[in-house]
Chains A and B, each alone.
Chain A
Amino acid sequence: MIQYLTNNHVIVWQALQEHLYLALLPILFGFAIALPLGYLAVRFTWLYHPLINTFGVLYSIPSLALFVFLPVILGTKVLSPVNVVVALTIYTVALLARTVADGLRAVDPVVVQAATAMGYRRTRRLVDVELPIALPVILAGLRVATVSNISLVSVGSLIGIGGLGQLFTRGFQLFYLEPILIGVILSVVLAGIADLIIVLVQRAVTPWTRAA
């Protein structure tokens, strides 16, 4: 395995970079879309169920099907990485919109009333009080989304998209174990590191959760 790595480090390194980029871009987009959506679902309660159900259906669509279906809707080329990014963004939003809404709904109404009584207006109350309290729930959702995105990107190699999945298809075509094994290990390690980073960020930004 070391031998394979030294001989192919350029390919492996490039695959790793593409993988990271294809997995994390959707997290950024997805988070940016899910925050307002989740908030709207809490603000207008009649929106909650339709929104959650719609995303529940989207989330259940298998990734390979979504990867090949999106070009029809978006007008992109089948081989375009945009399809993978959009598909993973959809999954991220599906997961996070729900956690954002559930996190905000779980904020103790007494705390919200106290903040209102102290003179917080709606927007500042949301940013300074409700979001921080909901943060542990939201970040737990973000961990799930990040880890599953990192493992899903590799399916994109079946439609010719880069990333660590390229090592799988390469190894499979040659019936050669090492690239597959390296790809699996790197993918799992990458997911573990990303997960750990979010945990550390969570510890840093929500110090009060450790006091309990």
Chain B
Amino acid sequence: MLSHPDTIIEVNKISKLYSRREAATRGRFARLAGRSLLGLKPKEVSELNQGEFWALNDISFSLKRGEAVGIIGFNGAGKTTLLRILSSQILPDSGEINILGNSASMIDLTAGFTASASGRLNIYYRGAALGRTQQEIESTIDEVIEFSELGDAIDAPFSTYSSGMKMRLAFSIMIVSEPDILFIDEVLAVGDFQFRQKSLAKIREIRERVAFVLVSHSMNTVKLFCNKAILLNKGEIAFQGDPEEAIEIYEKMLIPSKVSKNQRHNKTLNPQFHNDKTISDVEHFWCDEFGNPIDEIQSGQDLHFHVSFKLNYRPRNLIIGVPVWTDAGVYITGFSTPRATKGLVAMPNKKTQFRLKVPSQAFNPDEYISNLAVNDGPEFLYRGANPVLKVTGTGREYWGHVTLPHVWESVPISKADSDGVNEPHNYSQKSEAYSADPRFVFNGKNSIEAGTSSFDAPYEIKVILRSQSESVKLKRTDISPPMPFLAGAFSVFQLGVTYGFATNGKIVAEGGVAQKKQEINLSVDKAGVGRIIVEGEVLWSGEVGGEKPLKIGMGIRSRYWRGTVFKFEVQEYSELGRSKKAPRKPAKFDLFADYIEEGK
């Protein structure tokens, strides 16, 4: 009997004995068979024979409908054994399990399928294997086929299916039955991204009606899906309770205390290598912007790395790389010089020095270990450990190992979306109506292009971006649809206005996201070299095609600000080096931060 009326599964002190020796297993089996022939009940295990061990020992927990327990632990901790016992595939050696209602297990999902039979027949075979009657199978077969998205392939032999298709069919058969308790081994969702989302949506749909026991190595899945967790260690419950707490303990257990930090680091950073016949006087360390060595830095600050060495020959393709790992050995990123180019230049027998700059490094607080690798093409010349870098926090919350720049905003729903009708806007007409300067043409593809077909390089456009929020207090009507929270918190230009070059409508270079009141200078010289200069600093320069006529463009490239109108004004511009003031009444443009696919 269940001890609580809401409980639908109760596991009470179950244990399972396994043996590493086949002879011991057979011996125990023979004794049990003998007792059974004599009509005697099995004896309780009083002592373990040689090679025997408890795969599970004294496991107890209970679940109510709508609850999900995550079972975590190392390989061999007994997770799958527990799941097999719960799903009645094997019996415990002691203890008791009470299950109210039907259960289904997703342990070996594709087990029991017949390769030569069609997917449709396999639905019958598998359904029958799960103890369902012909009528029950027939009543759900359409749902299974539809859910699996196999379409006409359902009548093709199972052996012709890709592994993804097999998993989809197997998962669909299981999930459509909607059991009372679902035992899942890692496979919370299967298939490609789209199908996984669909599977997860189905799981979410039945979440409140079903109890879940999930065995997983994905801590994230356990954290997000389960409301309790059991940490198994060598067959015993090491912790039972809050998933986050269980994961924390598990992760601590992952790093064996007996292994020293150095040993751990060496394991990650090795092999080390130094071809002293080709490279010498190698110096490398993390440093500040002046080249002074550092061993600690705050999250978000600019990080620098110094490397100097002497080569005794002229390398054909000098590559320098700095792979970075966390203290626990998780590979985070690598800072490498480009591999596709001819590489860096180093003169033979002369000291060569390079400086790496990582602007606003995104590492979260931790200790980071790294290597310096110096290569000539595929050949390693040097590979050595850098000093450990400690990254300290800023007091802000963080998750994972890096915090990338990001902004969360509420996305307004356009009228077309809210009506369910996706009517294309005629941006050009509206923008042109605002345009006072005929040399600035809105091209209808999210960008304003400066110049017309009559403009040839060299040409320069100098634009001071200034949001209306600076000079005029923003009213709701300034940004459409209304987003009042933008007014104080952000400049509209931080939200998705990028700038760059477009040659005949094709973007050849883009700058970053424009900040408010930045002076951005885009120019092309006679040789067809373009430059993006932001606040006097050359951000980018390179070939912009040399095709004529050349158009230099500015535009919005964000897809997240659908239907939003941003306003800015041109204050001055210059043409062929002659600076011109903008008209007294500056030309105004509406830029629609809308994502329009090419050709629309």
A and B physically associate = no
* Chain A interface (Cβ < 8 Å from any Cβ of B): none
* Chain B interface (Cβ < 8 Å from any Cβ of A): none
